[in-house]
Amino acid sequence: MDNTLKRLKDIKSDCCVTILLNTHRNSPQSKKDEIVLKNLVTEAENRLKKKYNNETGQLVSQKLKELASNIDARYNFESLALFVNRDVAEFIRMPIEVKDRVIIGNDFATRDLIRMLRKEVNYYILVLSQKKARLIEAVGDKVTEEIHNGFPMENSFTIAGEGKLYNRETSLVLEFFGNVSNQLDSVLNDKRLPVFICTVESNFSDFLKVANQEENISGVIEGNKDNEDPQNIVQTAWPVVEKWYMGKNQKLLTELSESAAAGDFETDFTEIWKAIIEGKGRTLYVKEGFIQPANLKNNIVEPVLDGNADFDDIIGEMIEKNQQLGGETVFVSGDELKDYNDLVLLKRFG
């Protein structure tokens, strides 16, 4: 998903259409998703007719209709994102809620992809026993996918139980755990996420002896779940993951309070934008769901309350630009940003 985000957010053209909508994993609710999508496609077509010449509008409209017709609602997650222009036509299923909308501009609206990857906890669960290793990617309390890049891995040495082992058996188990660690490395090289180990305590301590990625191991979920359904495993893991994430987020909010007391922050839209494009953005704190249409002229941000705007969401543009220049984004669901009008940027030192 990180590679998809990097690719989509860098695409620029005279006509990029993004459609976002909430969907459902189960029938009969998922059948209604087709109706909602059809209505949003119609809205996009009508807006394209008004904004672009016949050739551009017709071409993008046709590609949009074809893409929508190929989406099977039976496999939907919590939401759906469609991205279409002259050269691109693809969709992404996402395990997060979004606001149903159509965005048309010179680039794709990737804010919700960023939110999924940065705000919603994106992580791996390594399901580990002395016989087998599985790797599951999850977002929040939902499965994204079970990884098949080298996983699952089977230990060819048969072990009767999970108890204490003698030297030769211990050596073979550690060798298997080392192979698992090496395979996990190859996955983390493509997409580096926190890793939570689901195993019994003795296996966890043995795995740490040979693991290459201690800095990525963020917690342990007790139990042997070799053959359990991935979603059941994620549901069991989520309280542990959520506690870890809340601690991490609280640390960042404490950093905001300390930096704000020293005056090292911006809350004005224009000043935030200028600091970001100058590469001075360190951490951008955004109230979850905060969207602001705006015009941008000579790097002056002018919020738009109604009517057409240069950007359907200037907050999304800030998030993406800050990410590109090495900054971080923190999405906040509570009222911690109330005193900052729901948006604040901590600047880099120097």
Q: DSSP labels for 192-242?
A: ---EEEEE-HHHHHHHHHH-S-GGGEEEEEES--TTS-HHHHHHHHHHHHH
Q: Are 313 and 109 in contact (CB under 8 A)?
A: yes
Backbone dihedral region of 342: left (phi > 0), alpha (psi from -120 to 50 degrees) or beta? left
DSSP 128: E
Structure tokens at 223: 């139990």
How many alpha carbons lie under 13 Å from residue 207 in its C-beta half-sphere?
28
Q: Which domains does the chain have, with CATH numbers?
A: 2-118 (3.30.960.10), 122-250 (3.30.420.60), 263-347 (3.30.1330.30)
Q: Which pLDDT score, from 0 to 100, does residue 87 have?
A: 94
Residues composing the chain: 350
Nearest to 296, CA basis, from 314, 315, 319, 308: 314
* Predicted TM-score (pTM) of this structure: 0.61
Strand residue runs (E) in 37-111: 79-84, 89-94, 101-107
Q: Which pLDDT score, from 0 to 100, does residue 120 have?
A: 63
Q: Exposure pattern of 129-166 as b/e (b: 16+ CB <10 Å)?
A: bbbbbbbbbbbbbbbbebbeeebebebeeeeeeeeebe
H/E stretch holding 179 reads helix 167-190
Per-run averaged pLDDT (10 residues), the chain, 350 residues? 72 93 88 94 94 88 96 90 95 88 90 68 92 93 89 79 58 92 92 92 93 87 93 94 84 80 86 95 87 90 82 84 84 84 85
DSSP 311: B
Strand order in the sheet with 343-347: 265-266, 343-347, 281-287, 328-332
Q: Which pLDDT score, from 0 to 100, does residue 161 have?
A: 52
Side chain identity at residue 123, one-letter code = Y
